Amino acid sequence: MSKFIYKDGEWDTSSRTYVMGILNITPDSFSDGGMYTDPAAALDRAVMMEQQGADCIDIGAQSTRPGHVPITPEEEWERLCPVLEILCGKISVPISVDTYLPEIARRSVEYGASIINDVSGDVESGMLEVAASTGAGIISMYSGGGADDDGGKRNSFICMLDYFRRIMTAAQCMGLATRRIALDPGIGFGKSRQDDLETLVQLEKITDEWCENAVLVGGSRKRVIDSCLAFDTCPDERMSGTIALHTVSQFFGARILRVHDVTEAVQAARVTDALILTKNNV
């Protein structure tokens, strides 16, 4: 039975799929950069996503898109702090913070976040220690050794499994309950688009090895969708492809989906959950 435990709550991911709504408060994110940098606009968006059925709001204050220009921890916190403050008490679903800096993760939990979405791709980044000391849940993403695409020069799936094994070993050594860790294969990070597709259809190898842990897939509006087409699209034109990618991911074991389009994602996830339950019972 898979479960994801976070600060002050838990998700029974063996019973259904959970949807994380993306709230980027950056000027340069690949899809919605600049739309929610104002705290009031961020609050309106978070409330709307909760009303649409999001189980969590995942806030990102620093872009990790290919070619992004990193900002300082001070700049990241200047963006993040006012949004965390204004969201406090305004939404009832847990807040996740998407970051690769442990100091930002720790301060975010102090300001009400329950989940650390660790995109560092580094076992020794200090993120596991922050989760252990604060009680937060943590999503450990495999970044392929870096946040940018490396053209698929390695066997990314084998490297990913090795990374997850090292994450679990490190967590056990520090007394961090492994069910407080969700595993994210990092679609669009450090892999070719073909590697992304091959990763998704092999998700069962992850769930077989870590059957008690939730697997998160975040393919929303990403370039892997265009790689399946004979033409290019803008990120906000990739909803149908996103739903297809996430639906197949559910059938292969994903139980947390990170999405931009919450209404459509929730509806598709519920239908897919019902189909999986039916398939298991016939």
Which residues are designated catalytic? 222, 258
Taking 3-state DSSP, the helix, strand and coil percentages for the chain, each rounded to the nearest 5, stand at 45, 15, 40
Beta strands in the chain (DSSP E): 4-6, 9-11, 18-24, 56-60, 95-99, 115-118, 137-141, 181-184, 216-217, 256-259
CA distance 161 to 270: 29
Pair type for strands 4-6 and 9-11: antiparallel
Q: Which residues contact 255 (CB under 8 A, 6 or more apart)?
A: 2, 13, 14, 16, 17, 18, 214, 215, 216
4: CB partners within 8 A, 6+ apart: 10, 11, 13, 18, 137, 179, 180, 182, 213, 214, 256
Sheet holding 256-259, edge to edge: 181-184, 137-141, 115-118, 95-99, 56-60, 18-24, 256-259, 216-217
Q: From residue 41, give the alpha-carbon distance in Å to each of 23, 69, 164, 226.
A: 10, 24, 36, 30
Q: Which DSSP letter does residue 92 get?
A: -
Q: Which residue has the tokens 């897939």?
A: 217
